[in-house]
């Protein structure tokens, strides 16, 4: 038999190099580049223009109009005739020289501080409770929070009126059954501290659901491994929350606090329906003071000036809070 050499595998032929595709012709003509598909141009701005214009009209126009009225002598006669006289900063000077105004300012900040602290603390506790419940309990608590949050302000305020009614209120009935005979036919809203406390309870009850749901949604984004590692290192529940959970949720807490500051400053409906600022001035805060000044004495200029000062103070509180928060973030 003839001897043959070892077989070798045939060398594969090189793959053909695909030819480069010619660039597609420009859609806008020879002198233009390819058409951009990122949505740039005037069309998106035209779509949002009605919303921006409506928001600017509803927000900026009342603010500017209020600034103008606060620098005029604007009473009932000027409201009808329209010939208001420019007085500069006289209305602000009148308010700042009024001792009652500064009492209202102090009461406003006290009302805001008490409400915001209670809302944030209770909402945090409720959010932590929800995160530890099972599916059924979590669903029940969240449903109750949403229902309480969705109740109209007037309806909730009316419920509190009946709860603390002097003759038919459930609170007086329950306290007298427990042996506190001094609360029989007790008029809660005729006592200044009691009326103030009732309003705090009402505002906190209405505000905790939103804050609790928001904080619970943020808690679900915190990895469990971090808390478990902190607990393995010997940290208590409070230490784990302070060292792990709170730093990660600091922006959410900042948002909740800012919103609660704004809503507490705007707690006009509850106060006006329950006490109208009384008894005396025990529950009068700046929004109520502005309405009382405008309606009782028909001094719309002083009432508008008080409203401008309210907005300025609220903005100042938020600016100071943001600066302090950003300073802490920068130091970390």
Q: Angle 163-145-260 (CA atoms, 0-180°, nearest 5)?
A: 85
pLDDT value of position 332: 62
User: At what angle are helices 135-150 and 192-219 packed, to 10 degrees?
Assistant: 130
295-320 burial, b if ≥16 CB within 10 A, otherwise e?
Answer: eeeebbbbbbbbbbbbeebbeebeee
- CA gap 332, 326 in Å, rounded: 10
Residue segments in the chain with a per-residue pLDDT below the cut of 50: 1-11, 20, 25-36
Beta carbons within 8 Å of 221's beta carbon, 6+ residues apart = 248
pLDDT value of position 2: 45
How many alpha carbons fall within 13 Å on the CB side of residue 273?
18
CA 88 from centre of chain:
34
Whether the model clears a pTM of 0.85, i.e. scores above it, the answer is no
pLDDT value of position 317: 81
pLDDT value of position 274: 92
pLDDT value of position 208: 95
pLDDT value of position 158: 93
Question: pLDDT, tens digit, for every residue of 181-212?
Answer: 888 899 999 999 999 999 999 999 999 999 99
CB 164 within 8 A of CB 275: no
- CA gap 262, 250 in Å, rounded: 19
Q: Angle 130-220-239 (CA atoms, 0-180°, nearest 5)?
A: 80
């Amino acid at each position: 038999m003839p001897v043959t050499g070892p077989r070798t595998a045939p060398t594969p032929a090189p793959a053909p190099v695909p030819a480069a595709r010619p660039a597609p012709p420009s859609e806008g003509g020879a002198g233009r580049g390819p058409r951009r598909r990122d949505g740039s141009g005037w069309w998106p701005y035209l779509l949002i223009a009605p919303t921006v214009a409506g928001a600017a009209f509803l927000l900026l126009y009342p603010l500017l109009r209020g600034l103008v009225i606060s620098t005029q002598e604007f009473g009932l006669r000027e409201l009808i005739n329209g010939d208001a006289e420019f007085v500069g900063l006289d209305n602000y000077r009148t308010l700042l020289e009024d001792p009652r105004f500064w009492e209202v300012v102090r009461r406003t900040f006290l009302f805001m501080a008490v409400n915001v602290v209670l809302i944030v603390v209770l909402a945090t506790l409720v959010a932590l409770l929800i995160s530890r419940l099972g599916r059924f309990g979590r669903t029940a608590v969240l449903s109750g929070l949403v229902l309480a949050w969705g109740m109209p302000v007037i309806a909730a305020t009316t419920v509190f009126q009946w709860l603390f009614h002097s003759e038919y209120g459930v609170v007086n009935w329950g306290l007298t059954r427990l042996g506190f005979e001094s609360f029989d036919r007790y008029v809660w809203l005729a006592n200044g501290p009691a009326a103030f406390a009732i309003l705090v309870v009402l505002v906190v009850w209405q505000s905790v659901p939103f804050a609790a749901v928001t904080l619970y949604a943020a808690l679900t984004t915190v990895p469990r491994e971090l808390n478990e590692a902190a607990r393995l290192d010997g940290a208590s529940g409070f230490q784990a929350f302070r060292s792990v959970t709170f730093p990660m949720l600091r922006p959410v807490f900042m948002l909740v606090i800012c919103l609660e500051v704004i809503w507490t400053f705007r707690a006009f409906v509850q106060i006006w329906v329950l006490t109208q600022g009384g008894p005396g001035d025990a529950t009068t805060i700046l929004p109520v003071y502005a309405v009382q000044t405008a309606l009782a004495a028909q001094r719309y200029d002083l009432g508008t000036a008080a409203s401008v000062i309210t907005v300025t103070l609220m903005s100042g509180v938020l600016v100071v809070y943001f600066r302090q928060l950003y300073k802490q973030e920068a130091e970390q």
